[in-house]
Amino acid sequence: MTKTRLLALVTAMVLLMTIPMTVSAQKAPPHVIVGTATLEGATAIEGTDVSAWIDGIIVEAVEVDANGVFTILVEPGDDESYAGKTISFSVGGTLADESTDWIQGGGTELDLTAGSAAAAATTPATVTGTGADGADGAPGLPGRRGIQGLQGETGATGATGATGAIGGSGPAGASGADGATGATGAQGAPGATGATGATGATGAAGAAGADGSGSNVIGIIALILGIVAIVGVGGVFVTGRRS
């Protein structure tokens, strides 16, 4: 069953349950039929009529929607019963191949197909209004059943239900993966100069110097030559003054 047809059937069944309880107890609940109508091999266009027939008389008629879906309620009148009778259907005035037995308070899904040669040959004539008396004085056929009354007003909204209990805490989730290593930080500023360190230990003694005896001899000779030079200069100076 398609979503559209299912919704139509559910809506019709809900409508049945909303019929006021003040309806006469002698009036039986209707039979709801929901389906798709096909005419001449194609889905019936929006507005095509679908009629329900019992004993050659139209007992209800509706129009299909844009999807060719119809919902029809077949309801007997007061002091009347359709128990044990068969419901025939026509689509756009052409008898459909399908039929179903009337069920008190029933709900049926039934797709209708109309337009075959056999069905067209046996299409019942539409009956509207009260027929005229026949030549032999017999009464005419009864007129078409009136349209079902409007649905009653929607009842008041019920009270809000109590709030449900709060559920318990769920288990702790797994630990997340370790994050990636961060980038190296910038180099810090140079530190302050540290205090002067303590004096280091005395180094090892150097190697002994070479023998200085030769140098002493040269020094003595130089000293003697210096003295001689001084004496000579002095003698020249004294001689010069005397003269």
- pLDDT tens track for 69-81: 999 999 998 778 8
Say which residue the tokens 């052409």 belong to: 94
> Higher pLDDT residue, 243 or 178?
178
pLDDT, the chain, mean: 75
> Higher pLDDT residue, 99 or 19?
99
What pLDDT sits at residue 182? 77
Q: Which two tokens stand for residue 51?
A: 């009629």
The angle at the Cα of 130, spanning 128 to 136, to the nearest 5 degrees, equals 125
Which pLDDT band, with edges at 50, 70 and 90, does 120 fall under? Answer: very low
Q: Is the pLDDT of residue 31 over 50?
A: yes
- Residue 4 half-sphere exposure, CB side, CA atoms within 13 Å? 10
Q: Is the pLDDT of residue 129 over 50?
A: no
Q: Which residues of 183-220 are buried (b: 16+ CB within 10 A; e: fewer)?
A: eeeeeeeeeeeeeeeeeeeeeeeeeeeeeeeeeeeeee
Q: Tell me how crowded residue 69 is: count the other CB atoms within 10 A of its CB.
A: 22
Residue of 118, 110, 86, 127 whose CA lies nearest to 34: 110
Which pLDDT band, with edges at 50, 70 and 90, does 138 fall under? Answer: very low
CA 6 vs CA 35, 84, 88: distances in Å? 9, 26, 22
> Higher pLDDT residue, 92 or 4?
92
165-222: pLDDT as tens digits: 776 677 777 887 887 887 887 887 887 877 777 776 776 766 665 555 555 677 788 8
Share of the chain above pLDDT 70, in %: 64
- Across residues 18-28, what is the average pLDDT? 51
C-alpha span between 106 and 63 (Å, rounded): 21
C-alpha span between 95 and 163 (Å, rounded): 56
Which pLDDT band, with edges at 50, 70 and 90, does 146 fall under? Answer: very low
> Higher pLDDT residue, 143 or 175?
175
- Across residues 21-33, what is the average pLDDT? 69
What pLDDT sits at residue 40? 93
Amino acid at 200: G
Q: Which of 43-52, 75-84, 113-122, 163-172 has the highest mean pLDDT?
A: 43-52
Q: Is 92 helix (H, G, I), strand (E, B) or coil?
A: coil
Out of 3-7, 52-56, 161-165, pick the least confident. Answer: 3-7
**Domains in the chain, CATH or no CATH each:** 3-121 (2.60.40.10)
Q: Which of 107-116, 160-169, 217-226 has the highest mean pLDDT?
A: 107-116
C-alpha span between 113 and 35 (Å, rounded): 10
